[in-house]
Amino acid sequence: MTATKGLEGIVATTSSISSIIDGVLTYRGYNIDDLAVHASFEEVIYLLWYGRFPVQSELDQLLRDLSESAAIPSELVEQMRLYPTGTNTMAALRSAVSALALYDETANEMSSEANFRKAIKLQAQLPTIVATLSRLRAGLEPIAPKSGVSIAHNFLYMLNGEEPSELAVKALNQALVLHADHELNASTFAARVTVATLSDIYSGVTSAIGALKGPLHGGANEAVMVMLEEIGSFDRVEDYVQTKLDNKEKIMGFGHRVYKGGDPRAKHLQKMSQDLSQLQGNTELYDMSVRIEEMVTGQKGLKPNVDFYSASVYTILGIQRELFTPIFAISRVSGWTAHILEQYENNRLIRPRAEYTGLTNQKYIPIQNR
């Protein structure tokens, strides 16, 4: 038995949800480039869950279901008030989603209908949890979700307590579409491993949030912003990046396990970052990002991934960096739940082997003789 480090190149399951073939990402056979420009996030959720686009009445029903499920239990809000201020937002989100199961009496029901209902709840409630966490951390009262608006609109409304601009809703909708699913990425794999034991959907999503939090995965978007803040201004980019490259340190937001020719999502976020910063009349963050890209790609051949330009996009939208990875989760929960439902439909315990590299033939020695 020989281990493959990081399971690189190992095909661990079959799935009909999303694919990466020759550097092209598709959801249910639809190219992400097409979806990013034309689809609403809610249409994409339906597509991921049901395998096809909804007709208008089906989309309306999904919007109603999401609206009706968006409020979170008051007991959970009271719990969240007790979380230490300044705690990591992804740790808080992971705890809150885990606690959500305690207030759902159907948490352990395993029928397909019950699991679909819980997928709707999770998708509807994650934005409310993230906005509530953000407001409580700022010493503000949470704002209840409103009905009849998109997830992007509702999230920005609950976050800021005012109606968002059309432009901000459009940009966030596109970011949510681009992050919705990504084949067998680390957090989706974590979710599938968890539910393959026939554990419940909340456990699967909690595991996924734990995996997404890491800086080699979803946590990279916040790490990119930390780097941009550290650099501070355009004239300091060159020195900063060169030192990192000379020291063989990783530059966050670059590289990918699967894409070697570039992440197809990155160009959409780059364009969004450029458009938004031009509209805002301040392009420094965008210009800094472009210069970093030129240096990292020029010297290392590494291309930006989905996280790199998300950092400037969210910042220009006025979103604090502590919320970048939670926003990733608001989107990716659509993919996680689609994969969990798919796993339940054709389940087998996921239990690989390990190549043993430890000592052998050891004999027990009584403690007084060690």
Which tokens belong to 56?
């208008």
**Residue 239 falls in the annotated catalytic set:** no
Of 257, 279, 282, 347, which one interacts with ligand ACO (CB under 6 A)? Answer: 257
* Shorter beta-carbon distance to ligand ACO: residue 104 or 293: 293
Site track 31-70 with ligand ACO (rule: CB under 6 A), x = hit: ----------------------------------------
- Beta strand 24-27 with 18-21 is antiparallel
Q: Which of 154/207 has CB closer to ligand ACO?
A: 207
Q: Decide: is 305 part of the binding site for ligand ACO (CB under 6 A).
A: yes
Which entry of 153, 179, 182, 256 is annotated as an active-site residue? 256
Q: Could you tell me how far CA 149 lies from the centroid of its own chain? A: 22
Q: In what order do the strands lie in the sheet with 30-31?
A: 18-21, 24-27, 30-31
- CA-CA distance, 329 to 211, in Å (whole number)? 11
Active-site annotation holder among 179, 268, 307, 339: 307
Q: How far is the CB of 257 from ligand ACO (least distance, A)?
A: 4
Residue whose CB is less far from ligand ACO, 54 or 218:
218
- Of the candidate spans 29-37, 92-100, 145-153, 298-306, the one that interacts with ligand ACO by CB under 6 A turns out to be 298-306
Whole-Å CA distances, 206 to 108, 191, 203, 258, 272: 15, 8, 5, 25, 30
For position 252 contacting ligand ACO by CB under 6 A, the verdict is yes
CA dihedral 240, 241, 247, 250 (to 10 degrees): 120
Single out the residue of 117, 170, 250, 291 in contact with ligand ACO (rule: CB under 6 A).
250
Q: Does 218 bind ligand ACO (CB under 6 A)?
A: yes
Residues making up the chain, counted from first to last: 370
User: What 3-state DSSP class applies to 23?
Assistant: coil
Give me the phi and psi of 168, to 5 degrees please: -65, -40
Is there binding between residue 253 and ligand ACO (CB under 6 A)? yes
Going by C-alpha positions, the residue among 169, 133, 122 that lies closest to residue 332 is 122
Tokens of 72: 């979170």
By CB under 6 A, name the one of 80, 92, 124, 220 that touches ligand ACO. Answer: 220
The region of 93-101, 160-168, 249-257, 312-320 touching ligand ACO under the rule CB under 6 A is 249-257
DSSP 107-140: TT--SHHHHHHHHHHHHHHHHHHHHHHHHHHTT-
Of 109, 126, 58, the closest CA to residue 333 belongs to 126
Q: Which is nearer to ligand ACO, 72 or 172 (CB)?
A: 172
Determine which residue in the list 135, 256, 268, 339 makes contact with ligand ACO, applying CB under 6 A: 256
306 interacts with ligand ACO by CB under 6 A: yes
- Left if phi > 0, otherwise alpha if psi is -120 to 50, otherwise beta: which for 130? alpha
Task: Give yes or no for residue 251 binding ligand ACO (CB under 6 A).
Answer: yes
CB nearest ligand ACO: which residue? 255
Question: Per rule CB under 6 A, is residue 302 in the interface with ligand ACO?
Answer: yes
38 is catalytic: no
Enzyme catalytic residues? 256, 307
Contacting positions for ligand ACO (CB under 6 A): 6, 216-218, 220, 250-257, 300, 302, 305-307
